Amino acid sequence: MADNAPTPVIRKTTHDWPAIQVALAPVEVLDDPTAVKKRSRDFFWYSPILNAELRHSFGELVVCPKTPDELARCLAVAYAHDIPVTLRGGGTGNYGQAVPLKGGLILETTAMRKILEIGQDFVRVEAGAMMIDINAALAPHGREMALFPSTQDIATVGGFVAGGSAGIGSIANGPLRENGNIRALKVLSLEAEPSEHVFKGRDVLRIHHAWGMNGAITEVTLRTVPSHDWIGCMAGFDTYQDAYAAGYALASVPEATIARKLCSVVDARIANYFPRLDTRVPGGRNLLVTLVPRAQLDALRTLITRQGGILHLAMDEAERTAGKLPHVFEFAYNHTTLQVLKSDRRATYQQIGVPDPADTATVARVYDALGDDVWPHHEFTRGDGVICAADLPIIWFTSPERLARINAIYKAHGFTIHDAHVNVIEGNHMQPDYQHLAWKRRLDPKGLMNPGKSTAWERVKHLTAEAIEALGRTKPDMQDRPEG
C-alpha cells in the first residue's frame, strides 16, 4: 500500500458490504475510509477520558438519505441484515452520542434539510435542517427559534432534539423538554417495513434526548418566539463572585424589564482565551455575557452599574459582521470550552448542577476548595419558571484521579455532577428512562440503533415494552445533563 493511501476502515462486522451497497441503491453511499472515519466522530475529544475510549470507534459505511423514503430504505436494509445503525446530524455532541461503538451504518441526515412550514408560532422542518438556516427562514416573519445551541452554524435540529437539552434562549424559554418547546416529532421505526410514528405534546419526551436509540427522527415541529433587534453584550467585573451575582440578578429580572436570551458568567482566566476581543474588552475582567433587545439596553446598563460592573461591549448584528467578530454566544455554553481547547488541548470541562443559584457565597466557597486547576463558568437557565444554574468549568486535566477528586469536592458542597466523561446515556446522576427504553423495544425490536449507549437496555431488552414502562412507574425520570 502506498504511503499516502487512506487507512482502511477496520470492519467490526462480517457483512457483505458490496451487496449491501447494491441493496441501498439509489441512496447515496460514502465508503471512502477518510469520509467514514470523519463521520464517526463528534466532540467527544473535549474529554481526554472519552477520547481514549472512543477515538478508535468507527462505522463501516455512511449513507446519506435525501428523503424520508430513502431513510426508510436504509432502515429496512439494516433490519434485514442485522446491521447496527448510528444516526448522525452535524456531529456536535460532546459525549460520543454519534460515535458507532459496534461498527455498521452511519446514517447521516444532513441532506434532509427542508423547511416545510412556518406557522404563526411554530416551524416544521426536516430533521437535517441546520439551526442557522431555520432562524434565517424565520427572520422575515419576525420570529426565531425559542432556543438553539451555540453550535447553530453546523448543528442539525434532529441532532439537537435527540442529544441536547438547553441552549441560547433557555434563560427565557426553558429547556427543550419544557412543555410546548417541541410541538411534534415524526419518527421511523427500524423494522422489516419501517413505519412512521407521530408524537405530539408531552409524548415527544418519549423520543427527545434518547440519543437516537429508539427511532429515526425525520421531522421536527418547534415553538417559535418573536425576534428582537438583539445587542450582544459583555460586562466586566473585578471578581468572579461579583460577576456571578450580576448574572443571577439579570436572570431574575422580569422579562418586561430585560428580555435576555443568554446569561453566561465567565472567569477572567477563561476570557483571556477569547479571540479578537482584546481591543474591545479589557483583559483580566470576569465577564457577564448576554443578549438583550436594543430597547432594553439602558436597563441592562443600569443593572450592571448597580452590580459594580462596566459594560465593555454592546454590538448589534451589523457591527458584529463589519468587525468580523464571533457571536457573543460563541463565548457561552460549550463554545467556551472550545475557545480554550483551540489554544491548549490539556483543558477539559465538567457539568455541575448548582444547588441554589441565589447562594453566591456557596459558589465562592466551592472554588476556594477546588484550587487553581478549576476555572468557573456558569450558565443561567429557567425550568418551569424556576431559575437554574449550571457550572461548566474549565479543568486542567492531569489524571482521572484528580478529576474524581474535583467531582468529590463539588459533591461535598452539595453540587450535582452530570458527568461529561461518560459515554452511556445513564451517566453519573442520570437515572434510566424506561419510557425511552419501552419505545426502543417498540420501534427498534432488534436493538440495532446506537448499540452500546445504554447499560439499562441490556438489562431490560428481553422484556415487553409494557413491562419496561412499568419499571419506570416506580423510578424517577432521567435528569437531563445541562449541555448546550
Q: Could you count the other beta carbons within 10 Å of the beta carbon of residue 350?
A: 21
Contacts of 91 (CB under 8 A, 6+ apart): 39, 41, 42, 43, 98, 154, 159
In the chain, list all ranges with CATH 3.30.43.10.
17-108
Q: Could you count the other beta carbons within 10 Å of the beta carbon of residue 435?
A: 22
DSSP state of 66: S
- By the 8 A CB rule, do 373 and 402 touch? yes
pLDDT reported for residue 280: 87
> Would you say the C-alpha torsion 273, 277, 279, 282 has a positive or negative sign?
negative
Q: How far is CA 394 from CA 348, 374, 391, 443, 467, in A?
A: 6, 6, 9, 39, 42
- 3-state secondary structure string across 256-302: CCCCCCEEEEECHHHHCCCCCCCCCCCCCCEEEEEEEEHHHHHHHHH
User: Can the peptide bond before residue 26 be classed as cis, meaning omega within 30 degrees of 0?
Assistant: yes
pLDDT reported for residue 477: 44
Best CATH choice for the domain 17-108 from the list 3.30.428.10, 3.30.43.10, 3.40.50.1820, 3.90.226.10: 3.30.43.10
Q: What pLDDT digit, counting tens, does each position of 162-177 carry?
A: 999 999 999 999 999 9
pLDDT reported for residue 296: 98
Q: What pLDDT digit, counting tens, does each position of 89-146 carry?
A: 999 999 999 999 999 999 999 999 999 999 999 999 999 999 999 999 999 999 999 9
- By the 8 A CB rule, do 181 and 146 touch? yes
Domain 230-315+352-417 fold is Vanillyl-alcohol Oxidase; Chain A, domain 3 (3.40.462)
C-alpha cell recorded at residue 390: 449550571
In the chain, list all ranges with CATH 3.40.462.40.
230-315+352-417
Q: How far is CA 304 from CA 233, 234, 245, 329, 401, in A?
A: 11, 10, 10, 19, 40
E strand spans, 337-465:
347-349, 352-353, 374-375, 377-383, 386-391, 394-396, 416-417
pLDDT values of the chain reduced to their tens digit, one per residue, 484 residues: 344 445 555 667 788 999 999 999 999 999 999 999 999 999 999 999 999 999 999 999 999 999 999 999 999 999 999 999 999 999 999 999 999 999 999 999 999 999 999 999 999 999 999 999 999 999 999 999 999 999 999 999 999 999 999 999 999 999 999 999 999 999 999 999 999 999 999 999 999 999 999 999 999 999 999 999 999 999 999 999 999 999 999 999 999 999 999 999 999 999 999 877 878 899 999 999 999 999 999 999 999 999 999 999 999 999 999 988 899 999 999 999 999 999 999 999 999 999 999 999 999 999 999 999 999 999 999 999 899 999 999 999 999 999 999 999 999 999 999 999 999 998 755 788 999 999 999 999 999 999 999 999 999 999 999 999 999 876 544 444 554 4
pLDDT reported for residue 10: 60
pTM: 0.92
**475: three-class secondary structure by DSSP:** coil
Q: Which residue has the cell 461535598?
A: 412
